[in-house]
């Protein structure tokens, strides 16, 4: 295997690897993205969930070039080409954060507005393109200075290194990875196709409050990567939200639930997301500000690395160009006033930073949660304007989704010695592919959203939530229950305290302090998901404690395999559902 290029922490290139941004890498990634994007559109409209396609694209590209076509190619498929390919494909598949399975169909349900293919493609591309340049700005503070795990990027990098590795140790790790993938994928297939694995819950914490055993080994794999601090914080947040606040909200009458409800998730999360988002946002902002103050007082390693003026100008012009494109489409296509259109850009940047930090720590991007915060903000700026409420939040969600995806790719690229600038180029090719394919697939699946969505065939839970929040906030901030506002203020205070501690405490002490990002996330996802991540983090900690040598050599490979296996099987099952 050829040696990859080496890069400074700021991304300044030291040695160029000529076979990185190749035509075949971009075409492979675009083709894979065109295949994987419909799976996420379908899954988003069905269950409100999507898959991170990085590992799926990585393995499919490796299978195609290194196994199927290896006898027919003069130049082998190299690791940096593989990284460009998966960057392109994953950005295409993550295009649904551009609004295709939430605010865009919600707008159709509320106002009857259906975008034609051309404007829809342009809109989805524009909000996603903005996220690329937000990620470029956040790369240094979130990747190099904060040292966040970015589990999806870490898993992808580990998988990539093992696939392209040589020697007995590398092959042994590949065997561990593949074995874990077979187990994870097999369990997913068994649960979906042959026999539904029983979901049990402890008697004191009923299933209606989402305390259900989830047999997902993907969650176990992610939990093993995020670490015990984040895992315990998720557990604590789940207990506070779903075992503490949830039952109290129902008993006190703040939340009404139907007697026949099988799950209280939807009615409860519409209240719980507000303190959860406040906790994540205030902690992120406080940590970023505190780190900025620290850098002014003390030199940070890497601050003296050269960044040329031309790089700064290019980066700023690209961000301003992307912002201008979004604003023009907001005004011309969506009919949004110039003031809220201008305000949507700093809001998108701010919320993308929040998502970037949360996904770096937990692996789960809270796109829907920060979208609701944007909806709340614009209910004050432009009250009783549903289109403005939904589409400005769409800007924030679209930018945040691509920011999270590209930061994960940057994390992967950092591990294998890739060029950040070339990854940005690949990301742009990916979002162009995903915008076209995703928009056409969405229009084909639901040509009449008002009659087809929120039905047994297309439940579209994310659409229902965005629609409900937009309608509730037509009267502005006053539409929020007073209890939710009090909870937000308390959560904001706690997030501020934890954010300061996160910035000032040494790592050895910080592991005993809860993670505000992980706790806040637990308020907006089912308790079963938090528990699954906690189980994985606990298992990894126990293995590291009692089987240290094995864990050091194979734990990350095993975790990557668990994530890869279920992801691949999930994509296959989604494809089978579409074919059926």
pLDDT in tens, 434-492: 999 999 988 988 888 888 887 756 767 677 777 777 777 776 666 678 888 899 899 99
CA distance 160 to 58: 7
CA distance 224 to 205: 25
Average pLDDT of the residues of the chain: 82
pLDDT of residue 304: 41
Q: How far is CA 302 from CA 10, 217, 286, 525, 570, in A?
A: 7, 38, 22, 36, 41
pLDDT of residue 51: 64
pLDDT of residue 18: 53
- C-beta separation of 130 from 326 below 8 A: yes
| pLDDT greater than 50 at residue 4 | no
Q: What is the pTM of this model?
A: 0.73
What is the pLDDT confidence band of residue 48, given thresholds at 50, 70 and 90? Answer: low
Report the percent of the chain where pLDDT is more than 90.
29
pLDDT in tens, 205-225: 677 888 888 888 988 988 887
| pLDDT greater than 90 at residue 89 | yes
Which residue's entry shows tokens 């207990």?
Answer: 239
Q: For 546-571, what is the mean pLDDT?
A: 82
- C-beta separation of 495 from 286 below 8 A: yes
Which residue's entry shows tokens 């106002």?
Answer: 111
- Other Cβ atoms closer than 10 A to 49: 12
Q: For 114-119, what is the mean pLDDT?
A: 92
- C-beta separation of 14 from 7 below 8 A: yes
| pLDDT greater than 70 at residue 202 | no
| pLDDT greater than 50 at residue 553 | yes
What is the pLDDT confidence band of residue 300, given thresholds at 50, 70 and 90? Answer: very low
Which residues are paired to 13 by β-bridges?
A: 7
pLDDT of residue 169: 63
Q: For 302-328, what is the mean pLDDT?
A: 74
| pLDDT greater than 80 at residue 307 | no
| pLDDT greater than 50 at residue 88 | yes
Query: Quick one: CA torsion of 256, 258, 259, 265, rounded to 10 degrees?
Result: -80
pLDDT in tens, 352-397: 988 888 888 777 787 877 787 788 888 888 877 888 889 999 999 8
Q: For 325-330, what is the mean pLDDT?
A: 95
More confident position, 559 or 408: 408
| pLDDT greater than 70 at residue 170 | no
| pLDDT greater than 50 at residue 299 | no
pLDDT of residue 168: 66
Cα-based angle 551, 553, 555 (whole degrees, multiple of 5): 45
């Amino acid at each position: 295997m050829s040696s990859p290029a080496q890069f400074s922490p700021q991304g300044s290139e030291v040695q160029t690897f000529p076979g990185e941004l190749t035509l075949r890498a971009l075409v492979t990634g675009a083709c894979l993205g065109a295949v994987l994007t419909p799976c996420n559109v379908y899954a988003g409209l069905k269950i409100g969930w999507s898959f991170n396609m990085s590992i799926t694209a990585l393995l499919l590209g490796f299978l195609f070039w290194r196994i199927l076509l290896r006898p027919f190619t003069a130049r082998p498929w190299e690791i940096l080409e593989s990284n460009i390919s998966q960057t392109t494909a994953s950005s295409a598949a993550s295009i649904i954060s551009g609004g295709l399975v939430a605010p865009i169909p919600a707008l159709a349900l509320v106002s009857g507005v259906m975008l034609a293919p051309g404007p829809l493609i342009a809109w989805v591309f524009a909000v996603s393109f903005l996220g690329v340049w937000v990620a470029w700005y956040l790369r240094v503070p979130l990747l190099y200075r904060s040292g966040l795990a970015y589990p999806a990027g870490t898993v992808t990098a580990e998988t990539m290194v093992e696939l392209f590795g040589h020697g007995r140790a590398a092959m042994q790790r590949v065997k561990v990875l593949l074995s874990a993938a077979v187990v994870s994928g097999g369990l997913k297939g068994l649960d979906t196709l042959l026999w539904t694995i029983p979901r049990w819950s402890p008697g004191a914490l009923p299933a209606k409050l989402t305390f259900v055993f989830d047999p997902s080994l993907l969650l176990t794999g992610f939990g093993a990567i995020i670490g015990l601090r984040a895992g315990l914080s998720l557990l604590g947040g789940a207990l506070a939200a779903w075992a503490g606040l949830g039952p109290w909200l129902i008993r006190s009458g703040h939340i009404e639930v139907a007697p026949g409800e099988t799950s209280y998730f939807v009615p409860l999360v519409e209240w719980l997301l507000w303190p959860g988002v406040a906790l994540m946002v205030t902690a992120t902002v406080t940590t970023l500000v505190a780190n900025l103050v620290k850098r002014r007082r003390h030199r940070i390693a890497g601050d003296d690395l050269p960044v040329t003026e031309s790089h700064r100008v290019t980066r700023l012009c690209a961000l301003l160009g992307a912002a201008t494109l979004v604003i023009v489409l907001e005004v011309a296509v969506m009919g949004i006033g110039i003031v809220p259109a201008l305000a949507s850009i700093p809001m998108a940047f701010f919320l993308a930073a929040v998502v970037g930090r949360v996904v770096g720590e937990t692996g789960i991007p809270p796109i829907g949660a920060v979208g609701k915060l944007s909806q709340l903000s614009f209910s004050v700026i432009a009250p009783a304007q549903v289109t403005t409420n939904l589409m400005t939040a769409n800007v924030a969600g679209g930018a945040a989704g691509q920011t999270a995806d590209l930061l994960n790719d940057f994390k992967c690229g950092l591990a294998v010695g890739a060029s950040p600038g070339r990854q940005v180029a690949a990301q742009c090719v990916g979002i162009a592919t995903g915008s076209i394919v995703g928009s056409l697939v969405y229009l084909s699946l639901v040509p009449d959203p008002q009659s087809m969505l929120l039905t047994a065939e297309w439940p579209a839970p994310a659409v229902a939530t965005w629609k409900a929040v937009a309608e509730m906030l037509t009267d502005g901030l006053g539409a929020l229950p007073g209890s939710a506002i009090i909870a937000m203020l308390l959560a904001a205070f706690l997030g501020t305290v934890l954010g300061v501690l996160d910035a000032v405490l040494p790592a050895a002490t910080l592991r005993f302090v809860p993670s505000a990002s992980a706790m806040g996330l637990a308020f907006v996802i089912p308790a079963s998901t938090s528990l699954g991540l906690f189980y994985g983090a606990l298992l990894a900690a126990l293995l590291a404690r009692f089987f240290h040598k094995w864990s050091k050599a194979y734990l990350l490979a095993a975790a990557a395999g668990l994530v890869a296996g279920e992801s691949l099987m999930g994509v296959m099952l989604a494809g089978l559902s579409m074919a059926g």
